[in-house]
Every structure is written in C-alpha cells, then in structure tokens.
Amino acid sequence: MSLRLSGVTLTYPDGDDGRVVAVDDASLTVEPGQVIALTGPSGCGKSSLLAVAGTLIRPDSGLVEIAGTAVGELFEPDRARIRREQVGFIFQRDNLLPDLTVVEQLLLTAHLRGERPSRHREEARELLDAVGLAGQEETLPRRLSGGMRQRVNIARALMGPRRVLLIDEPTSALDSQRGHDVIELIVRLTRERHLAALLVTHDLASLNVGRPGGVDGLIEMLDGRLIGGDQTAVS
C-alpha cells in the first residue's frame, strides 16, 4: 500500500488579504518498501509537504492517499484514526518523555490508540531488538546517547499496523557515522516491513542513493515545487 500525493497545493495567510504558497501542485508516489528522500533549502516547503502527507494539515487542493484511502475526503476523526494507526512519524527531535523507560516510550503509542499497552510489550521488545537496543528496555532517556535516543524514536514510530513512515531530518543532531547508521537502519526496516517512507533531509552524504543500504530516490524541492530527482517516484 503506497503513499500518493497528486496535485497538492497548500497556502498560508500572508497579511490581511494575501496567501503565501508553501506547496505548489506537488505530485509523488512512494511504493511499499521504498524510501524516497526529499531535499531542498530551508523554507522551500519540505516540512509542509510532510505534514500534508501525514494528514496533520489539510491542503487547499489535491489528493492524498494512504494505503489506497483518499484521506482528504474524510472527516477529522477518521483522519486522526488513520494517522494514529497507519502513519509513523520520526521527528528531528526525539521528543522522548524523560520519566518513561525505553519500552514505555513504545507502549505509550498503544495507549494513545485506546489499546492495553500490556498486550503490546512483546512487539515493543522485538522492535527494540530490531533497532539494536535489546537489553535497554528499562533504561531512561537521560542514560542514552543521541544515536540510541534516535533509535528509540524509530522503534516508536513503527509500533502498530503502520503503512507509511514520514521522517523529518533524522540525522541533524548526529555525527556523520551515526547519521549514516540511522539512514541505513531506516532503509532496512522500511524494506523488511514493506512500508512507504518519505524522508526530509539536508544530509545528502548519508543517503547513498540507489546503493545497497541507501535510499531509493532523491527529489529536490524549491519554492514549494518538486523540480527533479528520481522520476520513478514522481507521478
């Protein structure tokens, strides 16, 4: 089940009567098992496009499909349900809660879906093992390195029946080696779990586009428009 955006335009108010265009007629498709990277200068609309893809913002026009469902046509409670259940977010900051252990960070996502966290403890442990954090389940965030905290962030985003993974600058606070490792981990888990992943980044050196362990394609964004990159990923 893919992520598809078609003709998406998003504007924001600018002064009394004007509008500024954040995303301008953007179309792209990310297939299951793919990681497509989106790059461009600050302020070009990358994070706005990511927010639209994750149903956090409703665009002015255009189509957004998640796993075959046109989410723009849904009422907000149904959009929120799809967001909770099918979309995993990896933000630039890990946003870990300081008083929760590593495993509790993951189990919180089940609680937010209205499910009993205890039923998902084994899933959480398996994910922590998958990101290289076996044995750290009861550790508090302050005892983790930056790279380990980002791995918790990745594992948390994968909890539940995810279909789409949206990632915003996951390496910005990491050195080059840890950044490379995090991208490689995201790519591996995306393929293993058959997710459609869209990754916003300035860190081109860690992407290894088209190589083993690297992302599948790179699209550039400028002034709200998608202007190039891997044409197999662009509708």
Q: What pLDDT score does 234 carry?
A: 45
Q: Are 8 and 54 in contact (CB under 8 A)?
A: no
In contact, 53 and 82? CB cutoff 8 Å:
no
In the chain, which stretches have pLDDT less than 70? 1, 228-235
Give the total residue count for the chain: 235
Give the per-residue pLDDT at 231.
37
| Identity of the residue numbered 39 | T
Strand-pair category, 196-200 with 34-39:
parallel
CATH top class, domain 3-233: alpha beta
Half-sphere exposure of 164 (CA within 13 A, CB side): 29
β-strands 18-30, 3-14 pairing: antiparallel
pLDDT of res. 145: 93
Q: What is the pLDDT of residue 232?
A: 43
pLDDT at 79: 93
Domain boundaries, the chain: 3-233
- How far is Cα of residue 214 from the mean position of the Cα atoms in its chain? 16
**Helix, strand or coil, per DSSP, at residue 202:** coil
Helix (H, G, I), strand (E, B) or coil at 31: coil
pLDDT tens for 8-22 read: 999 999 877 789 999
Q: Per residue in 137-187, pLDDT tens?
A: 999 999 999 999 999 999 999 998 899 999 999 998 888 998 899 999 999
- State the number of CA atoms in the 13 A half-sphere of 6 facing the CB: 10
Whether the full predicted model's pTM is greater than 0.85, yes or no, is: yes
